[in-house]
Amino acid sequence: MAIVERVGKDRRGVPIYDRDDEGSEILYPHVKKWLSLNEKGKEIVRSRNERIKHLADDLPKVAYEYIKFKEGLL
């Protein structure tokens, strides 16, 4: 059904990340959340906006397309 060209690592196991047409790594917006305690000991959720890299991995895309294909058959 599909040929996977990238699996997130090179042949030595070193992670490879998504890159734009010029070869620069793409940074994606991400919200990091964690549980913390305030001065009174009450739990609160804190968050921070970050920019992270995504692995260059075709496997999730192939799985998603297969699921869509399979649903079309039922």
Q: Does 42 score more than 90 pLDDT? A: yes
Q: What secondary structure does DSSP assign to 3-71, as a single string?
A: ----BSB-TTS-B-B-B-TTSPBPEEEEEEEEEEE-TTS-EEEEEEEEEEE-B-B-HHHHHHHHHHHHH
Banded pLDDT at 2 (limits 50, 70, 90): confident
Spatial CA neighbour of 9 closest among 56, 54, 62, 53: 56
Confidence (pTM): 0.66
| Sign (positive or negative) of CA dihedral 10, 13, 18, 20 | negative
Banded pLDDT at 20 (limits 50, 70, 90): very high
